[in-house]
Amino acid sequence: MTLLHVKQNYAQNMCTPRELVQQIKECIAHFSDNPIWLHVLSDAELEPYLTRLEHAKMEELPLYGVPFAIKDNIDLAGIPTTAACPDFSYLPERSAYVVERLIEAGAIPIGKTNLDQFATGLVGTRSPYGACQNSIDSAYISGGSSSGSAVSVALDMVVFSLGTDTAGSGRVPAAFNNLLGFKASKGVVSTSGVVPACRSLDCVSLFCKEASDVSTIFEIMASFDEEDVYARALPPQKSTIPFNFTFGVPKASDLQFFGDTEAKVLFEKSIQRLIGLGGIPKVIDFNPFLEAANLLYSGPWVAERYFATQTLLHTSPESFLEVTRAIIAQGEMKKASEYFEAEYQLKAYRRAAEKILAEVDFCVTPTTGTIYTIEAVQADPITLNSNLGYYTNFMNLLDLVAYALPAGERSNHLPFGITLFADHFNDRALLEMGERYRKESV
């Protein structure tokens, strides 16, 4: 399930989009015990997309017949959006802007995928529809909140999927399912038609198996949406990353692996791989990034989650999972003065981060320090979820672009991933670096 494979099959008349969709439905049925999907489009719902392709020329549509999945906090016209909360469900008349662009390019929406309720979590277990299981070992978490989106790609149900990323939801599931997860600069991909988590921070993210697919699909997604007040047009590429590049690495005392010694070894190997590609490592002060990360849930930004759900929270609090309700309800008590205090702190962290980023071409960290079983997360949902955000929570607060890449596997075959990040609008340069890294590691 890659762009190249699907296009070759069509070009060689090995199958049609209609036949591929039926094969996908058989695959989905085979994994029906894993709550990956919240809504799979029926034959009748798929028909308009398939009929259009049968009257189109393959060479005119860059994503002709390419199946994709949509996280169920992103609208698809005529299909319920639930955000993993049945009582919140509504039927959108129009698809999200980014979904419209992908469908225009020929992609086929297969359905809506499971998520941590209201995109609040990094674990994939906070859903009334069930905990999404890891694609490699069902005892382990899939990662969240874009759980079903990642697993649908990992299990070859679709070529790519859309997630969202506020605190790491488009990167953590990538790491846990051996995928690439790209989180563009804020505003470069429209969030029109997306249920807000923290609207000022939210990004629509992309999961794929091939780096070249990420680059191709991103160019279609990165369409300026003038109706999205948070949209920003991606300017011409600032620069490419040179052959002899410098990359930042947190100092050893700032790295956390939470007892996962294999992850530590795999991260060290990824550093050596970057050196082999021409990289020169530079130890950086990671503290400004960590301090910014602490603001996301301890600071006032949780009030944005409350604002987005306050009506249902007050009229039907039982509609929320207990852990989701506890997190979001904190936002009601946040004061405007707390926001400005945190905003001033964040500006200072941003200035410190700018100085660090100016001295390197990009930085690299683990995507997460470790991975947990579903049972462990259910026993300690807050602490373990927090651990997973150690390397992810600061990205959108500090206005950075991030690319999660597979970087080896543990002895139990569970994958490990790294994340490359840089200042905003370095999207294409980071995508090129991701392709270089993947070519070396595959």
Query: What are the structure tokens assigned to 241, written together?
Result: 């990353």
**Are 52 and 186 found together in one domain?**
yes
- Check 127, 135, 145, 223 and give the catalytic one: 145
Residue at 170 is within a domain: yes
Q: Which of 381, 405, 426 is nearest to 269 (CA)?
A: 405
Q: Which of 436, 434, 426, 414 is nearest to 154 (CA)?
A: 414
Q: Are 263 and 257 in contact (CB under 8 A)?
A: yes
**Are 46 and 171 found together in one domain?**
yes
Residue at 277 is within a domain: yes
142 is catalytic: no
* Residue 165 backbone dihedrals phi, psi, to 5 degrees: -145, 110
Query: What are the structure tokens assigned to 349, written together?
Result: 């962290």
**Are 208 and 255 found together in one domain?**
no
By residue range, what is the domain housing residue 255? Answer: 245-294+332-403+413-441
Measured between alpha carbons, how far is 124 from 147 in angstroms, rounded to an integer? 5
Q: How many domains does the chain have?
A: 2
**Are 77 and 45 found together in one domain?**
yes
pTM of the model: 0.97
**Are 188 and 278 found together in one domain?**
no
Please give the span between the terminal C-alpha atoms of the chain, in angstroms, as a whole number.
17
**Are 124 and 23 found together in one domain?**
yes
Q: pLDDT below 70 — which residues of the chain?
A: 238, 441-442
Residue at 315 is within a domain: no
**Are 59 and 157 found together in one domain?**
yes
What are residue 294's DSSP bridge partners? none
Residue at 323 is within a domain: no
**Are 206 and 289 found together in one domain?**
no
Residue at 78 is within a domain: yes
**Are 258 and 376 found together in one domain?**
yes
Q: What CATH number corresponds to the domain at position 83?
A: 3.90.1300.10
319 is catalytic: no
Q: How many CB atoms lie within 10 A of CB 283?
A: 11
Residue at 255 is within a domain: yes
**Are 149 and 265 found together in one domain?**
no
- Among residues 189, 221, 253, the one where a domain terminates is 221
**Are 136 and 175 found together in one domain?**
yes
Q: Are 127 and 84 in contact (CB under 8 A)?
A: yes
pLDDT on residue 297: 81
Residue at 228 is within a domain: no
- Check 71, 112, 186, 334 and give the catalytic one: 71
149 is catalytic: no
Residue at 46 is within a domain: yes
Measured between alpha carbons, how far is 162 from 407 in angstroms, rounded to an integer? 22
- Check 147, 149, 169, 270 and give the catalytic one: 169
**Are 259 and 207 found together in one domain?**
no
